[in-house]
Amino acid sequence: MLIQIILIATAFVLFVFFIRSSHSVRTQAVKRIGFVLFLVLNLDAVLRPDDTTWLANKVGVGRGADLVLYLLVVAFAFYSVNTFLRFRNLERRFTDLARSIALRDAQPPAGADRLDLAELPVDASAPRVPVQTAREDAPEHARDETPESSLTGGSPR
Amino acid sequence: MADYDDVWIVIPVYNEGAVIGDVVERTRETFPNIVCVDDGSRDDSAERIAHTGAHLVRHPVNLGQGAALQTGISYALAQPGMRYLVTFDADGQHRVEDAEAMLAVARSEGADVVLGSRFLTENEQVPLLKRIVLRTVVALSPTARKLKLSDAHNGLRVLNREAASRLRITMNGMAHASEIVGFLARSGLKVREVPVTILYTDYSRSKGQSLINGVNILFDLSVRQRGA
């Protein structure tokens, strides 16, 4: 069936994209195993639609399609929260950046002493990225840590 | 007249060009050190401030009042000899005499933080609907109850150096007021409340927080408590 081919192709493309953004953190490995599992389940659901119905009946849902829809809702909710947290983290960095620009360009009134820039406090509200890892995996690192630490109640600070 | 060389006034400014010049000049008759944080205003606020004797810090983009306050606090903390910091609204709703009274309390009673309250004295200065909303916010805020505050959203505050340097406002928008109260409740700092008079002019009424914004504030805060 055509739909099966399309869905399987999509799954493979996703898989390739996923593999290619490579960096070596343990959480990343766990995520990948989870994602591969997800893809396998996808393939199974596409090739043998009855499996989802079987599973649906096991967990007390009438049809397999309903089960898939419910899982989609859950996945979307998770995605939304993840995105929200990521955006908020981005907003904090953006604020810190704008603030440091504002403080650097501060205009004292005419005749006042010029502010010594070295004395300005470093704003610690943004999560710090260690210098030695700051080159390649720093963005990934920070991006991955935020939702996890936030969801478990820890502070990114 | 008392000596206020160690006091810094922090005024977050957003599109207040019509009044900010007067507000700064009036405040400067008493307090020599003022920093105005222009939060990316689209009007001539920055230009007006530049013509006064106030320090001007300009956000390159609009970030929100909470972010502007934090920027002003960071700036004031970097100034030599700063011991007290007063946050002040830009629309002229606060009275300089109230700020002086609050500073006197901070100095004489050793309070780390002095907050202005509209509700300590029973009077009719706050419009009824606004009073109900503000009271509700206080009632719903566990931290405000813990500190026994009567007014969580007053822009007039006095912080000493220790309190100011420990405070980190992360809520860029209007929820920072509740965030500050939450910080104070956890910090163990000595907090006092002092009755103040708000000048509800037509101008400040038109600029003031809309009541519906209270919904946004509650949402921001509830998300913040779970997330960060």
Per-residue model confidence (pLDDT) at position A55 = 84
Establish if A121 touches chain B: CB-CB under 8 angstroms.
Answer: yes
Establish if B168 touches chain A: CB-CB under 8 angstroms.
Answer: yes
Whether the pLDDT of residue B187 is over 70: the answer is yes
How do residues B43-101 score in pLDDT, each as one tens digit? 998 888 888 889 999 999 999 889 999 999 999 999 988 999 999 888 888 888 888 99
Mention every residue, 6+ apart, whose C-beta is less than 8 A from residue A70. A61
Beta-sheet pairing, B55-58 with B191-195: unpaired
3-state secondary structure B91-158: CCCCCHHHHHHHHHHHHHHCCCEEEEECCCCCCCCCCHHHHHHHHHHHHHCHHHHHCCCCCCCCCCEE
Provide mean pLDDT across the span A116-139: 44
Distance from CA of A95 to the nearest CA of B (A): 7
Tallying the residues shown for chain B, one arrives at 228
CA-closest candidate to residue B86, choices B138, B33, B49, B40 = B33
CA-based nearest residue in chain A for residue B227: A150
Per-residue model confidence (pLDDT) at position A84 = 83
> For A137, which DSSP code?
S
Distance between CA atoms of B62 and B45, rounded to whole angstroms?
Answer: 13
The fraction of chain B above a pLDDT of 90, given in percent, is: 26
Amino acid at B3: D
Pairwise pLDDT comparison (B212 vs B176), residue with the higher score:
B176
Provide mean pLDDT across the span A81-93: 85
* Strand ranges (E), chain B: 7-13, 33-38, 55-58, 84-87, 113-117, 157-160, 191-195
Provide mean pLDDT across the span B22-45: 91
Geometric angle at alpha carbon A83, from A79 and A88, rounded to 5°: 155
Mutate one of B27, B47, B63 to test the A interface: name it (highest A CB count within 10 A): B63
The interface pTM score, or ipTM, of the predicted complex is 0.76
CB B113 within 8 A of CB B157: yes
- Judge: B37–A156 Cβ closer than 8 Å, yes or no: no
Give the Å distances, CA to CA, from A88 to A5, B107, B223.
38, 38, 11
Whether the pLDDT of residue B37 is over 90: the answer is yes
Per-residue model confidence (pLDDT) at position B123 = 56
CB B213 within 8 A of CB B176: no
Establish if B67 touches chain A: CB-CB under 8 angstroms.
Answer: yes
Per-residue model confidence (pLDDT) at position B60 = 92
Q: Which residue has the tokens 């990948």?
A: A32
Whether the pLDDT of residue A136 is over 50: the answer is no
Distance between CA atoms of B109 and A121, rounded to whole angstroms?
Answer: 28
Structure tokens at B121: 């004295």
CA-based nearest residue in chain B for residue A82: B227
CB B88 within 8 A of CB B10: yes
Provide mean pLDDT across the span A15-27: 66
CB B209 within 8 A of CB B156: no
Contacts of A103 in chain B (CB under 8 A): 57, 71, 74-75, 78
Pairwise pLDDT comparison (B124 vs B37), residue with the higher score:
B37
Whether the pLDDT of residue B18 is over 70: the answer is yes
Establish if B30 touches chain A: CB-CB under 8 angstroms.
Answer: no
- The SS3 call for residue A84 is helix
Pairwise pLDDT comparison (A157 vs A4), residue with the higher score:
A4
Contacts of B63 in chain A (CB under 8 A): 95, 98-99
Establish if A115 touches chain B: CB-CB under 8 angstroms.
Answer: yes
CB pairs under 8 A between A and B: 72
- How does residue A64 score in pLDDT terms, banded at 50, 70 and 90? confident
Per-residue model confidence (pLDDT) at position B124 = 56
- Judge: A102–B54 Cβ closer than 8 Å, yes or no: no
Provide mean pLDDT across the span B171-180: 81
Q: pTM of the predicted model, to two decimals?
A: 0.68
Distance from CA of A13 to the nearest CA of B (A): 33
Mutate one of B45, B172, B220, B225 to test the A interface: name it (highest A CB count within 10 A): B172
- Judge: B168–A125 Cβ closer than 8 Å, yes or no: yes
- How does residue A103 score in pLDDT terms, banded at 50, 70 and 90? very high
- Judge: A92–B170 Cβ closer than 8 Å, yes or no: yes
Per-residue model confidence (pLDDT) at position A137 = 42
Contacts of B60 in chain A (CB under 8 A): 98, 101-102
CB hemisphere CA count around A152 (13 angstroms):
6
The gap from C-alpha B76 to its chain's centroid, in whole angstroms, comes to: 14
Mean pLDDT computed over every residue of chain A: 70
